[in-house]
């Protein structure tokens, strides 16, 4: 696991975007796992800039999103409506600005009438695509990845998950309050990739910014591996894992000097 620390959110976002762009250029038909939330917005905006100004080509890229609220969602074949779905978030922040094909976009369908069967099929679609080459991740304030709430099995697969009070509170402030939707009206369940599914990606790229994430970042990266902090599963990952933080999110790490030393060493040699 390589931990990269940058001074600001903007610098962190640009660094993460370069990692993704490098993969897209090296493997034009790569499979990207994507995340929602406030943290990756800067990364998506930098990818959009690269597409528009540098010709970064997404025409053969396939994507799989981590999660979606159960009970809402949009039909990718029709115009996007004003809702609070993660599908619409992805359209507004990334998809409508780049040349990705609609048929290559995969997002859990929150409107499905058979969630159990849908989850099985989602796993199969990932396998049929050859697996995820790079999975982009954030981290919740209670240490969760996607909607894998505390207590989720570290071997879990794509499934329906009930949301904790912490997650409901955070998402209400970020997405629902400003839309005039009451807390009781927001979805309390979601479809999410499991931790086991995430760990099957070839490469992980986790982002975190801000002082409010500092304590849980330290738990995930330097604390014990535990289902109570599902992002701590990154310590079990066998492939290449890169964690990109701003200084505030990294402020409670104990091994900061070592992470910075290792980054300098890695930049000095070609392996």
Single out the catalytic residue among 46, 93, 123, 149: 149
CB < 8 Å & 24+ apart, contacts of 168-172: 170/140, 170/141
Q: How would you classify the pairing of strands 62-65 and 189-192? A: unpaired
CA nearest neighbour of 56 among 104, 19, 88:
19
- The number of angstroms, rounded, from the C-alpha of 78 to the middle of its chain's C-alpha atoms is 25
Single out the catalytic residue among 106, 133, 144, 200: 144
246 belongs to the catalytic site: no
Q: Are 24 and 17 in contact (CB under 8 A)?
A: no
Instruction: Show the CA angle centred on residue 52, arms to residues 50 and 56, nearest 5°.
Output: 50
81 belongs to the catalytic site: no
Q: Which domains does the chain have, with CATH numbers?
A: 2-268 (3.40.50.1360)
144 belongs to the catalytic site: yes
**Per-residue confidence of the chain (271 residues) as pLDDT tens digits?**
999 999 999 999 999 999 999 999 999 999 999 999 999 999 999 999 999 999 999 999 999 999 998 886 555 555 445 467 889 899 999 999 999 999 999 999 988 999 999 999 999 999 999 999 999 999 999 999 999 999 999 999 999 999 888 888 877 676 666 667 677 777 789 999 999 999 999 999 999 999 999 999 999 999 999 999 999 999 999 999 999 999 999 999 999 999 999 888 877 764 3
Single out the catalytic residue among 46, 51, 67, 161: 67
- For residue 81, what pLDDT is reported? 54
- For residue 42, what pLDDT is reported? 98
CA 211/CA 188 separation, integer angstroms: 27
51 belongs to the catalytic site: no
Read off φ and ψ for residue 268, nearest 5 degrees: -90, -20
State the angle between helix axes of 41-54 and 86-93 in degrees (0 to 180), rounded to the nearest 10: 40
CA 40/CA 207 separation, integer angstroms: 7
Output the pTM of the full model: 0.92
- The number of angstroms, rounded, from the C-alpha of 74 to the middle of its chain's C-alpha atoms is 19
């Amino acid at each position: 696991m390589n931990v990269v620390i940058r001074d600001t959110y903007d610098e962190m976002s640009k660094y993460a975007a370069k990692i993704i762009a490098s993969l897209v250029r090296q493997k034009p038909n790569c499979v990207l796992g994507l995340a929602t939330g406030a943290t990756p917005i800067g990364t998506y905006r930098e990818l959009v800039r690269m597409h528009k100004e540098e010709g970064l080509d997404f025409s053969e890229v396939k994507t799989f999103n981590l999660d979606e609220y159960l009970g809402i969602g949009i039909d990718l074949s029709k115009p996007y409506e004003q809702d609070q779905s993660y599908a619409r978030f992805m359209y507004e922040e990334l998809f409508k600005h780049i040349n990705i094909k609609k048929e290559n976009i995969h997002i859990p369908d929150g409107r499905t009438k058979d969630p159990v069967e849908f989850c099985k099929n989602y796993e199969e679609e990932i396998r049929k695509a050859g697996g995820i080459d790079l999975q982009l991740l954030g981290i919740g304030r209670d240490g969760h990845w996607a909607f894998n709430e505390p207590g989720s099995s570290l071997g879990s697969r794509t499934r329906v998950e009930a949301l904790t009070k912490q997650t409901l509170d955070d998402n209400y402030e970020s997405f629902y309050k400003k839309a005039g939707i009451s807390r009781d009206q927001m979805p309390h369940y979601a479809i999410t990739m499991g931790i086991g599914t995430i760990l099957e990606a070839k490469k992980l790229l986790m982002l975190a910014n801000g002082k409010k994430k500092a304590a849980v970042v330290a738990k995930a990266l330097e604390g014990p591996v535990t289902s109570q902090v599902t992002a701590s599963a990154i310590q079990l990952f066998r492939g290449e894992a890169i964690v990109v933080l701003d200084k505030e999110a990294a402020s409670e790490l104990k091994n900061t000097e070592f992470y910075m030393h290792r980054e300098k060493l890695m930049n000095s040699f070609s392996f």
